[in-house]
């Protein structure tokens, strides 16, 4: 019998039992309800561990997509600023003049 099926059958014996580790669970006598709560907790841990790689993969992909979207937005902003400079020669000339003055120490 597979693990999940075995655990499911065992947990069905006490579907409304208290959660593992709670005071209510500690007050139970040893028996099916107490064992079902332990198995339920173990299954939760197992399933969480099984799904961790997939969850991390999704989180990494979401972060990568957000980073790339920011990079794309920044690229488009720089591209548009460059295009505006070339489409308006007076802005480009003023920028070149300002850079020249900075480079030569303010002497023109």
| CA atoms of 84 and 94, how far apart (whole Å) | 13
Residue 6, judged by CB atoms within 10 A of its CB (0-12, 13-18, 19+), counts as exposed
pLDDT at 60: 95
pLDDT for the residue 63? 93
pLDDT at 14: 79
pLDDT in tens, the chain (108 residues): 698 888 888 888 878 888 888 899 889 888 888 888 888 888 888 888 888 999 999 999 999 999 888 888 888 888 888 777 666 777 778 888 888 999 998 765
Judge if pTM exceeds 0.85: no
């Amino acid at each position: 019998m597979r693990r999940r099926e075995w655990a499911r059958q065992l947990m069905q014996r006490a579907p409304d039992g208290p959660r593992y580790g709670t005071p209510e669970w500690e007050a139970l006598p040893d028996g099916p309800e107490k064992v079902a709560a332990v198995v339920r907790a173990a299954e939760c841990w197992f399933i969480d561990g099984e799904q961790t790689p997939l969850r991390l993969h999704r989180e990494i992909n979401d972060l990568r997509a957000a980073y790339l979207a920011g990079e794309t937005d920044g690229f488009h902003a720089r591209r548009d600023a460059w295009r505006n400079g070339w489409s308006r020669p007076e802005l480009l000339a003023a920028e070149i003049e300002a850079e020249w003055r900075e480079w030569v120490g303010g002497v023109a």
